[in-house]
Each structure stands twice: as structure tokens, then as C-alpha cells.
Amino acid sequence: MADDVGAKAKTTDTAKTTDTAKPADSTKPAKLKAEELQVMAHYHEVNKMEIDINKVAAKKATSQGAKDYANMLVKDHTDNDKTLMALAKKTKQTIPAEKPASDVEKQEKAEDKKMVAKLKTMKGADFESQYLQMMVAGHEKELAKIDANIAKVENAELADALKATKPLLQHHADEARSLQTNLPTASATPSGGTNKSGSTSGTNTTTGKTTNTGAAAKQGSLPTRSTNAPNPPHTGSGVGSAESPKPSQSR
């Protein structure tokens, strides 16, 4: 009887060990596939570039609105990248370097790097205008790609992260476009002082008369002096005038 009880106890212990081991295996996160890792690599690169550009813009932008926008993007893309890094850590994988899927993508990446390098050399209003243009174009380009990238993903956490990224990209594009409407524009009035009717008045230094050249300027020609106008009467005085010689008198 004692032997039977001991055997049953061993069997029960073995069953318990087996039962507790199964849940541990089922909770282990599945490895991300190579295609999923490449999707992560793309957004990791996007985040790094956005953080880099916007740190520069936060210092070089001329308007407070653009500075605030740049700081917002630094925070948003930093948080987004932390999510990707945490998922890679959870699956005990490393986000690889991004590999362009085609020669076109490779060329696009090279051009993007050139644009960023050029932007960093600019200053003032030119910098801000180019910066906002780049933000609109870049975020619109990523919005056009994100649905296709979500479709490549099977991992639920990665899919959720990408779905949360989409409205973020849209918000960034919209805000940059809004800031563009507030950029200072060059004055339409030339420095010569044209009035509302488009005419320019001034004084003729030769005749001392006030003339209006607006109508002639609109037609693309300057007013010409009429050849039929009578000569002014001789006054016998003034700059460049000459008196008629007086006849000699004989005594």
C-alpha cells in the first residue's frame, strides 16, 4: 500500500510540473518576421531624421509658432521611436538598418539627405519657408505609404503602433501647412512709391512741371514729347539763352 501511495504522489507531482510549464511557453512573444523588422527599420529612420531636423529648427526658426511646432515634433517622434524600440526589446531582436526596396527608394533617400544638409546651411525666413515645405512634403509622403506597411504586418502590437502613427503624421502635415499660411510675403508695392492707381508722379527737373507717367507705364512705354508743340517764346534771359546783337549806330 505504501508503495502505491508513493507512486501516485510522484505521478501527481510530474503532472503539476508539466501543467505549469505549458503556460510559460505560450506567453513567450513571437519573433518579428524579416519584413516586419524592415517596416520597423523604416519608421526608426524616419523618427531619427525628424528628431534631427526639428532640433535644428527649434533653434533656427524665426517665428515662435515654428519653434513650438519643431519642439512638438521632437517629442512626438521620440515617443514613437521608444515604442518601436520597446517592441524590439520585448521580442529580443534588434531593429536592422533600412534596406531600400528599389533603386527609386534608394534615390529618394539620397535626395532627402541632400535636402536636409542644404536646409541646415540656410538662415532666417529662407530657412523657415524651406523647413515648413519639407515638413509638409515629408509627412504627406509617409501618409501615402503607411497603409501598405500596416498590411505587411502580422504582429498585433506593431500593427497598433503603426495605426497610432497615422493620425500623428496627418496632424504634423496639417500643422505645417497652417504655419505656411502665416509666413511673411514680399510686398507687392515696389520701392519706387507707386500709388494705388498704379501711377507714379514726379517733378521734371528741366521744365519744373509735375508729370504723371502711370498710364504710359501700364502700356509699357514712356510718354514722348510732341514734335508739333510750338517753341516757347524767347525771353532773352535764363541759362543757355543769348541776346540778339544790337545794330551799331553811326554818328
Residue 138 lies in a domain: yes
| pLDDT confidence bin for 242, thresholds 50/70/90 | very low
Q: Residues near 126 by Cβ (< 8 Å), separated by ≥ 6? A: none
Residue 55 pLDDT > 70, yes or no? yes
| pLDDT confidence bin for 1, thresholds 50/70/90 | low
| CA pseudo-torsion sign 76, 79, 81, 87 | negative
pLDDT of residue 192: 44
Neighbours of 63 (CB within 10 A): 15
SS3 content of the chain, % helix, strand, coil (to 5): 65, 0, 35
**Strand bridging mode 210-212 / 201-203:** antiparallel
Burial class of residue 7 (count of CB atoms within 10 Å of its CB; 0-12, 13-18, 19+) = exposed
Neighbours of 81 (CB within 10 A): 19
Residue 162 lies in a domain: yes
Residue 159 pLDDT > 50, yes or no? yes
C-alpha torsion 132→136→137→139, nearest 10: 130
Span 25-52, mean pLDDT? 91
Residue 56, C-alpha cell as written in the block: 535644428
Residue 23 lies in a domain: no
Span 227-241, mean pLDDT? 44
In the chain, DSSP assigns E strands to 201-203, 210-212
Residue 164 lies in a domain: yes
Q: Which domain holds residue 116?
A: 30-180
pLDDT of residue 29: 77
pLDDT of residue 74: 98
Residue 32, C-alpha cell as written in the block: 518579428
Q: Which CATH number is 55's domain given?
A: 1.20.1260.10
Contact at 8 Å (CB) between 66 and 57? yes
Domain count, the chain: 1
* Mean pLDDT over the full length of the chain: 77
Span 94-109, mean pLDDT? 91
Select the highest-mean-pLDDT range: 25-34, 99-108, 129-138, 202-211. Answer: 129-138
Residue 221 pLDDT > 80, yes or no? no
| Number of alpha helices (DSSP H) and beta strands (DSSP E) in the chain | 7, 2
Residue 227 lies in a domain: no
Residue 191 lies in a domain: no
Span 86-103, mean pLDDT? 94
Exposure of 193 in the CB half-sphere (CA atoms within 13 A): 4
Burial 180-219 (b: 16+ CB within 10 A, else e): eeeeeeeeeeeeeeeeeeeeeeeeeeeeeeeeeeeeeeee
| pLDDT confidence bin for 251, thresholds 50/70/90 | very low
Tell me the pLDDT tens digit for each residue of 169-215.
999 999 999 999 988 653 333 444 444 444 444 444 444 444 444 44
| pLDDT confidence bin for 10, thresholds 50/70/90 | low
Residue 112 lies in a domain: yes
Tell me the pLDDT tens digit for each residue of 127-149.
999 999 999 999 999 999 999 99
Residue 93 lies in a domain: yes
Span 33-53, mean pLDDT? 97
Q: In the chain, what percentage of residues exceed pLDDT 90?
A: 57
